[in-house]
Chains A and B, each alone.
Chain A
Amino acid sequence: MSLLALLSDYTIQNVVIGAALLGLVSGTLGCFAVLRKQSLLGDTLSHAALPGICLGFLVAGTRDIASMLTGALITGTLAALVMLVLTRHSRLKTDAGLGISLSLSFALGVVLLTYIQGTNNAAQGGLDSFLFGQAAATLRSDLWIMGGITLAALALVMLFWKEFKLVSFDPAFAATRGLPVATLETGLTVMVSLAVVVGLQMVGVVLMAAMVIAPAVAARQWTHRLGTMVLLSALIGIASGVFGALISAMGRGLATGPLIILSASVLVVISLLFAPGRGFVWSLLSQWRARRHLRSQQVLTTLYRLAMEHKDTTYRTQQGMVDTYYGIGTRLSLARLQKNGLVRLRGQDALQQPGWELTTDGITEAQRILDGLGHGDRR
């Protein structure tokens, strides 16, 4: 199927739009979660959505999307609260609080899910699709709900932009400036819950954690500004969503959720490796360059010292000697020095053996380096 044909398919349109909305909202809000070192809170919130979905179903009596998502929002927020209470009022640390809250909410979800299945309610079919998401079942009406939530979350971020920024960077200072820090932090947490709710239909409760973290981490590598980071993260989120949805649509019955997550993961890896400045490849390269430069300088000053010892500026050092001196091959360093016009290779003549000789530039350079070190006789 061609891309155009794909995009004109009604179901696929829904999936792509839904995935893009998810990428947009989770990319934006994920930035704040990651910067506040609450990356795994998204994981807990998403697992905690499961009991909420079941409760929403039980209350509504049918597979009513609005009540199930409301339930998910409520239980997600409750799970965050449980985690907070556990860590504030006992000696348990954050990691244990997150894990307890996550696993027990999920256990409750599983129990409720099996309870509903036991009641033989005909409408319950596919309730467990929320575990991995069921993108293909996305309806236009679902999109309106997802779009509404996304819009509300984005509006809040824009409205309270500078407050969210300050609270994420320096909450104590924010409090001394009179900002209601606790309210703003709660707001950010509830908004991550909103993003999770948008993602339930697309990627499900299990993989949602990555949608909160991955776009933000990828975006962080490319920029040093929060505004740009949020924008990029949203774009990366959208791109992952659309990629995943399209690959899934192109065939072989691959699930959309995992493909979206994999797309996001690939973008993270690319960013970590190649982003200018922070990219791993660049920093390895500049480390290697620095080391190469240092080695050349060392070789140059060694030649200079040998020349000085022989009181002869045209003294020729054999390469074998330099190699023994360093215990490794210095051929490449010497070649670089030669290219820069600091040394030259001289053959045998009446006066001396063949070997490497310093040029005038080389002598000046060696003196400059040694002076820079502060001692004329340092190696």
Chain B
Amino acid sequence: MNIPNRISNLALLGLLTGSLWAQQPTGREIMERYKAQDRTQDLSAEQTMTLTNSRGGERERRLTYVTRTDADGNRRMLVRFLAPADVARTGFLSIERSDRDDDRWLYLPALRKTRRIAGSDKTDKFVGSEFTYEDLDSEKLDLHEYTLIGSETVDGVDAWVIEAVATDPERLEETGYSKRELWISKVHYLVIQAKYYDGSGGYVKLFRATDIRQIPNSEKWRAYHMTMEDVRKGNKTTLQVLEYEIDQGIPDRYFSERYLKRGG
């Protein structure tokens, strides 16, 4: 091999690697594809929620939830408990607002009353689970910086690894996390694993999503089995989705006191 040839080959290799690197999407681009895959006008699901404490004690709840996202990205959510009997028919309604505090109501069937309740901190636990309200928020891309930090296979699914850090000052105030690491499936563009780090950088929670299926009559993918584990305390919440339905044209008026107290 003569020198000019070597130079030419090296140049070719350089061009190829440059082109390959250029094909690597950025963290933001991956999250935009994730967001597009995640976005639905409305979604309803029935699921069981199993709360497991560090001693192995279990409590199971069955619930339905219905969400609808408006053009501004604000979400309306109505959650109804179906079991156990002592919480059955209890309902929770929340309406996200851009310009003020979210509206939230709780329907208490024993009192036959709907009660407006104060907003929770984003770091508060949702109905006693290991999920916080922040964990349930839809991903707000403009409030975070996303950096692609690698590629890994989790349970046989090839995934991008993204580091998400809040950049918006208001979000920085309310978040309970210094950073999150998100494993985004390269096939489904779903979060299949996430690690959460507290304000001092300590690893606190692990989220995992498995049993990924395409929702019938749609192009959307969803996980039917999810866990959120507090890795310090050993408590775990498991969500097993029985059924998803999306884009059924659920109107805004469904997310009202009228339907909240009707009890499903």
Whether A and B are associated in the same complex: the answer reads no
Residues of A participating in the B interface, judged by any CB pair closer than 8 Å: none
Interface residues, chain B, CB within 8 Å of chain A?
none
